Amino acid sequence: MELSDLQQIRLDKVERLREQGEPAYPTRARRTHTNADALALFDAAEANATLSDSGDLDTPMTLTGRMVSFRHMGKTVFAHIEDGTSRLQLYIRRDLLGEDRYADVRKLFDLGDFVQAEGTLFRTRTGEVSLRVSAVTMLAKAINAPPEKWHGLQDIETRYRQRYVDLLANDEVRRIFRVRAKAVSAIRAFLDARDYLEVETPVLQPLYGGAAARPFTTYHNALDQTFYLRIADELYLKRLLVGGLERVYEISKDFRNEGIDRNHSPEFTMLEFYEAYADYETMMDTVEAMIAHVVTTVFGRPCFTFQGNQIDVTPPWPRRTLREAIHEASGVDYTAFRSQEALQQAARAAGASIEDGMVWPRIVDELLKQFVRPHQIQPIFLTDYPVELSPLAKRKADDPTHVERFQPYIGGGEIGNAFTELNDPMDQLARFREQQEDKDAGDEEAMPLDWDYINALMYGMPPTGGVGIGIDRLAMLLTDQRTLRDVILFPAMRNLPNESANTPESGSDSAETESPAE
């Protein structure tokens, strides 16, 4: 490993600490308070006027954190440490610490180091609550210097490739992922409270299904068999409904072998939940209540700002049919154009960009994307999609050309997909066969026929409502981010040239030889 001058200087300090008997990486830390707790205690004591004559809170404290600022004033040092709760200033005086130890702090401690400091809290002349330090020790020496203190880490590529640097340098990034976690936690609380059972279904699947997408393919050596990484949880979760579990949900990574852009990641997080004896109307009730619960949990009220728009998720949300929404936005009533040619002509006449040869349902989808979707800023449910777009949804009783399906839209994008689940095994078989025809015609995203799923439906699945919510897209909304990668901690990136040795094909070290246990 080649070290830069800056790294070598810090490594030398590790050695100097060791020489004088202080480990640079001690086995354990001892803290009596988090920084936030310590500050709260001081505020309380100050409010109750129980501080000592010197203005100190006489409770001795041991605090920990990463050193994020360091101002040397001769015989005094001001430094800030930051733990997971707060930033707190250390006030380090030579006469309190002793000459030798004070020199160590000046010479051997750097920005980025984790330290542990003992002392008592007081308020400085400029009003900042600070720790009057009586002792300080190294907890973990940082060899790499942190990014620039004022601008943080700006380089987008480094922020994604080395998210740990992004997180330690940029407060806003930590905030984003806290909001995301809080939202997921609120979803679990909401569903748990409604007696939904959280379950885990296979990531490795012998046959993929439940969505229109290309899968990742892998291989199990012992079984001598191909597996696919799941593109959706849907078909397994609905098997559980057959088995008598009436309310189930799963929050999990799904994988789709497609391009990467602002709204697509090869691995992403999906919430799916299914409820027996429900239908798409009652599931709309559930979705709007759930989103309102999540937003209120995160922000304290059912409103938030996304890309400059104030969004209010208070139920009930408007519900409009896809046909109405497209008709109003584009002037095209797609039901009046039954053939691909006629609809293509009408769509183009309305100003849509439609490729030659695009099949009828895809043209409808394009009308939705081009005319309707960008304008759905406030929450809305679009309902009743053409059957061709929805091979797993149940037909409307009064219109077999459409299915009971809805998508919730917020902030100009869809955040999910839901329907009254198709539970007629023979209709499901027919839909699979139509998909098979599309596949044979070259549609790589068409669903394969899943005989075991048909078999499950033949045992009987109760009438069921099901919903899928894209957690990453929801997180984008709640954190006001325009890019999926900004709400994914470690987004997929292409190998750098000198990382190509990571691929199993190259180099001599294969997976077998890496394990010393073998």
Partner RNA sequence: GGGCCUCUAGCUCAACGGCAGAGCAACGGACUCUUAAUCCGCAGGUUCAGGGUUCGAAUCCCUGGGGGCCCA
Binding site for RNA (CB under 7 A): 4-6, 9, 69-76, 78, 89, 91, 93-95, 107, 110-111, 122, 124-128, 130, 144-145, 147-158, 160, 259, 261-262, 353, 355, 483, 485, 491, 493-497
Report in angstroms how near the CB of residue 260 gets to RNA at its nearest: 7
What's the closest the beta carbon of residue 394 comes to RNA, in angstroms? Answer: 32
By beta-carbon proximity to RNA, the closer residue of 37 and 258 is 258
- Of the candidates 258, 187, 172, 267, the residue with the CA atom closest to the CA atom of residue 486: 172
Where residue 140 falls (left for φ over 0; alpha for ψ -120 to 50; beta otherwise) is beta
Cβ-proximal residues to 475 (8 Å cutoff; 6+ apart), any chain: 176, 179, 180, 183, 481, 487
Nearer residue to RNA within complex by CB, 160 or 299: 160
- Which value, in Å, is the radius of gyration of the alpha carbons in the chain? 29
Quick one: 3 or 223, whose CB is closer to RNA?
3
Structure tokens at 53: 């004559």
| Phi-psi category of residue 112: left, alpha or beta, with phi > 0 → left and psi -120 to 50 → alpha | left
Q: Does residue 250 contact residue 237 with C-beta atoms inside 8 Å? A: yes
Residue 1 vs residues 7, 14, 485: alpha-carbon distances, Å: 11, 17, 30
Helix axes 451-458, 234-242, angle to 10 degrees: 30
User: Nearest approach, Cβ of 81 to RNA (angstroms)?
Assistant: 12
Are the C-beta atoms of 331 and 350 separated by less than 8 Å?
Answer: yes
Minimum CB separation from RNA for residue 341, in Å? 19
Task: Report in angstroms how near the CB of residue 485 gets to RNA at its nearest.
Answer: 6
For residue 368, give Cα distances in angstroms to 53, 323, 403, 413, 414. Answer: 71, 9, 16, 11, 11
Which two tokens mark 308?
């400059």
326, 327, 331, 337: CA torsion to nearest 10 = 100
Residue closer to RNA (CB basis): 338 or 369: 369
- Least separation in angstroms between residue 122's CB and RNA is 7
| Closer residue to RNA, CB minimum distance, 53 or 514 | 53
Kindly list the distances between the CA atom of residue 119 and the CA atoms of 52, 57, 62, 89, 93, in Å, as whole numbers in the listed order: 14, 10, 7, 12, 11
Half-sphere exposure (Cβ direction) of 385: Cα atoms closer than 13 Å: 28
Contacts for 21 with CB less than 8 Å, ≥ 6 apart: none
Smaller CB distance to RNA: residue 90 or 313? 90
> Residue 232, Cβ neighbours under 10 Å: how many?
25
CB-wise, 89 or 417, nearer to RNA?
Answer: 89
Task: Give the E-state strand segments of 196-280 in sequence order.
Answer: 197-198, 204-205, 217-220, 225-229, 247-255, 267-276
Q: How far apart are the first and last CA of the chain?
A: 28
Q: Which is nearer to RNA, 93 or 319 (CB)?
A: 93
Length of the chain: 518
| Cβ(91)–Cβ(133) below 8 Å | yes
Minimum distance, C-beta of residue 450 to RNA, in the bound complex (Å): 29
Q: How far is the CB of 96 from RNA (least distance, A)?
A: 8
- CB 8 → RNA: shortest distance, Å? 9
Question: Least distance from C-beta 160 to RNA, angstroms?
Answer: 6
Query: In 233-367, which residue ranges form alpha helices assigned H by DSSP?
Result: 234-242, 280-299, 322-330, 340-349, 360-367
Is residue 36 within 8 A of residue 92, CB to CB? The reply is: no
Task: Provide the minimum distance between the beta carbon of 87 and RNA in the complex, in angstroms, as a whole number.
Answer: 9
Minimum CB separation of residue 147 from RNA in Å reads 4
Q: State which residue, 93 or 194, has the beta carbon closest to RNA.
A: 93
Cα(391)–Cα(421) distance, integer angstroms: 10
Q: Contact 45/51 with Cβ under 8 angstroms?
A: yes
* Minimum distance, C-beta of residue 508 to RNA, in the bound complex (Å): 23
Task: Please name the residues in contact with 30: beta carbons below 8 A apart, sequence gap of 6 or more.
Answer: 62, 116
Nearer to RNA among residue 87 and residue 319 (C-beta): 87
The token duo for 311 is 């969004």
Residue number with CB closer to RNA (140 or 289): 140
